Structure 1
Amino acid sequence: MKHALSAVAVSLGLGLVALPPPSQAQAQPGGAAQASREPDVIYVPTPQEVVDAMLEIAKVGPDDVLYDLGSGDGRIPITAAKRHGTRGVGIDIDPTRIREARANAEQQGVSDKVTFIEGDLFEQDLSKATVISLYLLPTLNLRLRPTLLKLKPGTRIVSHAFDMGDWAPDQTLIVNQKRIYFWTVPKR
């Protein structure tokens, strides 16, 4: 599974998105960085066919800003940038995953479109997102739900494997026996 967050000022198309300052990774003996706290989930990558279906169901495009919560190796924002021209922000608490995601973005030629932030996804400003993607445990989805429901109406949310409790999805899709849930933030 995925997750994390921190920050920097991120250039996203026409505007500059100011994110909170990066959290401080703690140095370990030998110079290895450690996450600022233990991850809430273990890292399990989303299969590429599920990534593709998530982006399709969310109808991502070049005008979107996708925030991937628990971004792991960065495959969701990288795929969105490469195939759909979407700008993206990946958030993960694990410094190893952040380094891997940045290297993957560079290798795929989209490091100008995606930014990866090391930090706690529960402490980040998500207000610039037009699309949120996640692959977190049900308890984490429920914990995020109040924050997600405060986002701009029309913001699209897509989750691999896990729902949001009694918030009924707009659409559910099964791809290779993997469930995908899709919601649109309602008008208040």
Structure 2
Amino acid sequence: MNTRTRARTRSLMRPAFLHGIALFLITLAFFLPSKPAFSQAEPARRPDVPYVPTPQPVVDKMLDLAKVKKGDVLYDLGCGDGRIVITAAKERGARGVGIDLNPQRISEAEANAKQAGVTDRVKFMEGDLFKANFADATVVTLYLLPDVNQRLRPQLWKQLKVGTRVVSHDFDMGAEWPPEKVEKVGNKTIYFWTITEANKRAAT
């Protein structure tokens, strides 16, 4: 094979070689694991409660019971996917903050807030409820467990202003703080309290 023939052969083979490389890279990209939609980081410590979303009818009733309105600042302690905070912002005009120990839940909540168009009125923070500052809340919502509620109770009394409304899905605060109202939504129970001067004195 003379020099001209070899050069022509190499010229003809180059596109096929490049096509093969491109096909290989596309195939490799297809089989590589894709980037996860939400954070896969582990919580700083084991969460106090398992993640169980609050059904939307219960969310609506909680906000009704607390009379959430424009001007309120709602904190959801253990916010999960952010639905209570987002509903309060979108449907009631409130501002809201969600706190959760699990970074994956925070990622989901932020994505849900963006989809709902309320990112200018809500904020989600990864953090420990027992180390959180929620003193500027006018409404606090909870879906935790009885022992967690009772551990959190002194912190609520100490931090929250008189008149702040507290609403809990399914679990009360123990005999030391009986609810002012109790409502049912199907087989779900919602408890309501208001922070009083007596609560503040008990916290000192």
Q: Same fold (TM over 0.5)?
A: yes
CA RMSD, Structure 1 to Structure 2 (Å): 1.0
Runs of at least 4 residues off by over 4 Å: none
Structure 1 residue aligned with 2:181: 171
**Correspondence for 2:95:** 87
For 1:184 and 1:52, the matched residues in 2 are separated by 19
How far apart, CA to CA, are the structure 2 residues paired with 1:127 and 1:41? 23
Question: Which residue identity does 2:197 align to in structure 1?
Answer: K
Given residue 130 of structure 2, which amino acid in structure 1 is its aligned partner? F
Corresponding residue number in structure 1 for 2:24: none
2:193 corresponding residue in structure 1? 183
TM-score by length of 1: 0.82
- Alignment equivalent of 2:169, drawn from 160, 180, 185: 160
Pick the structure with greater CA Rg: 2
Instruction: Answer 1 or 2: which has greater strand percent.
Output: 1
Q: Which amino acid aligns with 1:163?
A: D
The match for 1:48 is 56
Residue 149 of structure 1 deviates from its aligned partner by 1.3
1:77-116 superposed Cα distances (whole Å, 9 cap, x missing partner):
0000000000000000001000000000000000111100
**CA–CA distance in structure 2, aligned partners of residues 165 and 105 of structure 1:** 33
The correspondence for 2:104, drawn from 96, 104, 129, is 96
Look up the equivalent residue of 1:181 and give its one-letter code.
Y
Residue type at the aligned position of 2:58: V
TM-score for both structures, normalised by structure 2:
0.76
**What is the letter of the counterpart of residue 131 of structure 1?**
V
Question: In structure 2, what is the Cα distance between the partners aligned to 1:118 and 1:170?
Answer: 31
Secondary structure in structure 2 of the residue aligned to 1:39 = coil
Q: Aligned runs of 1:1-188 on 2, under 5 Å? A: 32-150=40-158, 151-166=160-175, 167-188=177-198
Segments of 5+ residues of structure 2 without an aligned counterpart are 1-38, 199-204
How many residues align structurally?
A: 158
User: Which structure carries more relative contact order (alpha carbon 8 Å, separation 6+)?
Assistant: 1
Identity %: 62
